[in-house]
Amino acid sequence: MNKHTGNFRLQIVDEVRAFAADSLVGIELIQALNGVHPIEIKNALVSAGEEPLLERAFGELNISGPVLKEILRDDNPVLSFWPFTSSCARQISDIVSEYETVALLGVPTVFGVLKERLMRRAHTILFDTDDYLFRGKTTEGYIQCDVLSAAPSQYENQFDVVLGDPPWYLEEYCSWLRTAVGLARPGGRVIFVLFPPNIRDTSKIERNEILTIARQLLLDVEFLPSGALYETPSFEQIELIRNGISPIDWRTAQFFVGRVPLNKGRLVPSGKSESSNNWIERRIGCGRIFVRAEPADIATFLEPADGKSRFLSSPSRRDRGRNRSNVISSRGHGLCCSDPRLLVDLLGRVHEAVDIENIGGGLDRESGLLLEAVAADLWPRFISVQPKDELV
């Protein structure tokens, strides 16, 4: 979630009022705001003293009591992974399935659909960093690599169509887009997601820059009539519930498509940002926890990154708490740790649920209690979440 300026928040209130007057409420109202996070909408209305408007606009999406939530898949906040809904993945697979050779960048859900529908087709390849959905399996067509650094060179100029969904940050789009053009054969197609215009104050400018780059690399760039709909990932579900909002699938985006020039040159990706290689992953029960090797400059062993709660208020990399965190989880935790190596060792000792009681032994009291609480949150498939719970 990216926080907006005060003027934009006033604009949010005006637009919500207008939509509600036209009987547009709930998910439809949120999606009509073109990328504004539901928590930002709620905060804007509360700050303006518009609680009755909030009740009318959000309706049944408001949560006032504890929620027992089943986490069906623990997603990856390090890679900013927001998966397509199953219906959206099927719709996208229909678009690309007419091509003989298909490359997918960071869209494992589409890959799963295509593998089911097109088992006879040998050349559908997924390039992705996270092997969570394929771990322990031999998956034909899955290539684990960092798309920011380019796909393996033997795949250059091999694909009729390349579909990509990069993290919604301008600094990564250039690298992903250049990787896609490198994979596509001359005359092939590149289809990319473009984030909505209101996700942050700078997003309209960033969208224009992305389209400018796309038109420099591709011919006949245009928007597709169908759009993208995303599942709310596990780490954001917790964030929404803690802010009293039902964990709905609200996030949408557009697709643009372009044709690769016949005389394309060799493209070298640039503008690489934070690499996932700096993070060590460990499994705790059903959950995932990621630890960055660089220690945090804090007096204790472990503390909440935002100073209030063990849960982050936002998974966005631009969030101050998220930026401070060198420990984050698939359930939305954000912590600072002064000794990441010791933490990884402690996490490796948790093999059964009873091990959680002793995981904090030998640490200072507050750090030990915090570590045990995080491990207990991660272990079960179901997690109980209290809106506005600030307990560490």
DSSP state at residue 310: S
Angle value at C-alpha 359, between 355 and 363, nearest 5 degrees? 160
pLDDT digits 0-9 by tens, 357-388: 999 999 999 999 999 999 999 999 999 998 87
* Domain closes at, from 217, 234, 259: 259
Q: Which domain holds residue 197?
A: 86-259
Tell me what pLDDT residue 316 has: 84
Tell me what pLDDT residue 392 has: 38
Cα(first)–Cα(last) distance of the chain, in Å? 22
Q: CA 103 → CA 67, 68, 86, 116, distances in Å?
A: 40, 38, 19, 16
- CA–CA dist 288, 129 (Å, integer): 15
pLDDT digits 0-9 by tens, 194-247: 999 999 989 999 999 999 999 999 999 999 999 999 999 999 999 999 999 999
- Within a domain: residue 67? no
- Within a domain: residue 25? yes
CATH number of the domain encompassing residue 231: 3.40.50.150
Confidence grade of residue 123 (pLDDT, cut at 50, 70, 90): confident
- Within a domain: residue 56? yes
8 Å CB contact between 100 and 83: no
Q: 293 with 145, same domain?
A: no
- CA–CA dist 238, 236 (Å, integer): 5
Number of domains in the chain: 3
In this predicted structure, which of 41-50, 137-146, 192-201 has the lowest mean pLDDT?
Answer: 137-146
pLDDT digits 0-9 by tens, 246-304: 999 999 999 999 999 998 876 655 545 555 568 999 999 999 999 999 999 999 999 99
